[in-house]
């Protein structure tokens, strides 16, 4: 029996609020073009066949995992995963880059590119995989922009995050908790069968932590690790509480988790909002957004 061809989103941007249909079509075409032909830095590393195959395997497995929730991934290739070629830089410039790029990786939402700041020549494959998968979940998240009357576009929704006018990103830490939890589950489901990770996984009991940069002390690492553990623990506690309160609506706790995942990737946040408000009272969902906000005024 032949299976129908898989469908993909052409870019990470799904909606542009405030734009006319013609403007939205034009901007969407631009984002799709940038996704198909990503603009990469001059210091981009020429991937070896092995590194390209490694990234392609991760992309394919992430696609599969997103589809398991009934969601549609963005059409990307290994070209959308960017690595720095530090051999092209002077030692001084390379160190400046590493200090500036304090995060292990990041994604560029409009061009659908994941930038990995770890050196793929020296870093372990397990660590690279953790970074790439975490950022790929951000890349595949639902994104909506807002077109202002003067013609500029600004972020409106990135995954669970809602961008406010007061320089606050509501649900920022809820979004990070959900992506961190997806990364942990992905590790358990896909990494053991990944041939590029077999040797490094021997004797490993826990998922790689892609959130730790080149920090100077063990104490700094533990503080950051603990912060992400707390975010995931809070999210899982909320999901458990919602399931226990509404077991007549959900066959399993995983069904509640799936609601959050679908909101992340498809943008339909209403079922989660309604569930939380019906459990804890009106405006509870809004309170959750405020309590997990990132305040850019403090940066």
Task: Enter the pTM of the model.
Answer: 0.89
pLDDT score, position 160 = 93
Query: Are 183 and 137 within 8 A, CB to CB?
Result: yes
Query: Are 258 and 71 within 8 A, CB to CB?
Result: no
Query: Are 181 and 232 within 8 A, CB to CB?
Result: yes
pLDDT score, position 133 = 94
pLDDT score, position 201 = 81
pLDDT score, position 226 = 42
Any idea where the domains of the chain sit in the sequence?
13-298
pLDDT score, position 26 = 92
Per-residue HEC secondary structure of 219-237 comes to HHHHHHHHHHHHHHHHHHH
pLDDT score, position 98 = 64
pLDDT score, position 7 = 92
Residue 157 β-bridge partners: 144, 162
pLDDT score, position 230 = 85
Other CB atoms within a 10 A radius of the CB of residue 37 amount to 10
pLDDT score, position 6 = 82
Per-residue pLDDT of the chain (299 residues; tens, 9 = 90+): 455 678 999 998 999 999 999 999 999 999 999 999 988 887 888 999 999 999 999 999 999 999 999 999 999 999 999 998 888 877 777 776 666 555 678 888 888 999 998 888 888 888 899 899 999 999 999 999 999 888 788 999 999 999 987 889 999 999 999 999 999 899 989 998 999 998 888 765 555 555 444 433 444 344 344 457 888 999 999 999 999 999 999 999 999 999 999 999 999 999 999 999 999 999 999 999 999 998 877 65
CATH number of 13-298: 1.10.390
């Amino acid at each position: 029996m032949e299976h129908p061809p898989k469908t993909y989103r052409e870019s990470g941007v799904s909606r542009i609020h405030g734009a006319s249909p013609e403007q939205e079509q034009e901007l969407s075409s631009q984002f799709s073009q940038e996704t198909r032909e990503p603009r990469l830095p001059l210091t981009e590393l020429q991937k070896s066949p092995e590194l390209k195959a490694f990234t392609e395997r991760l992309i394919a497995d992430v696609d599969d995992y997103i589809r398991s929730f009934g969601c549609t991934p963005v059409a990307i290739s290994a070209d959308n995963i960017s690595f720095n070629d530090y051999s092209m830089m002077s030692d001084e410039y390379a160190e400046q880059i590493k200090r500036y790029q304090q995060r292990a990786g990041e994604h560029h939402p409009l061009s659908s590119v994941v930038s990995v700041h770890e050196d793929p020549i020296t870093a372990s494959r397990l660590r690279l995989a953790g970074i790439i998968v975490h950022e790929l979940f951000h890349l595949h998240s639902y994104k909506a922009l807002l077109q202002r009357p003067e013609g500029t576009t600004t972020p409106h929704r990135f995954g669970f995050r809602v961008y406010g006018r007061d320089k606050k990103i509501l649900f920022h830490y809820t979004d990070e908790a959900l992506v961190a939890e997806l990364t942990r589950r992905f590790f358990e489901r896909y990494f053991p069968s990944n041939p590029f990770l077999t040797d490094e996984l021997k004797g490993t009991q826990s998922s790689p932590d892609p959130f730790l940069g080149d920090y100077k002390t063990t104490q700094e690492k533990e503080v950051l690790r603990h912060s992400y553990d707390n975010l995931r623990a809070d999210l899982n506690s909320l999901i458990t509480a919602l399931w226990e309160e509404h077991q007549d609506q959900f066959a399993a706790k995983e069904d509640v988790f799936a609601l959050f995942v679908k909101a992340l990737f498809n943008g339909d946040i209403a079922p989660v909002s309604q569930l939380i408000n019906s459990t804890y009272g009106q405006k509870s969902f809004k309170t959750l957004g405020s309590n997990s906000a990132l305040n850019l005024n403090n940066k």
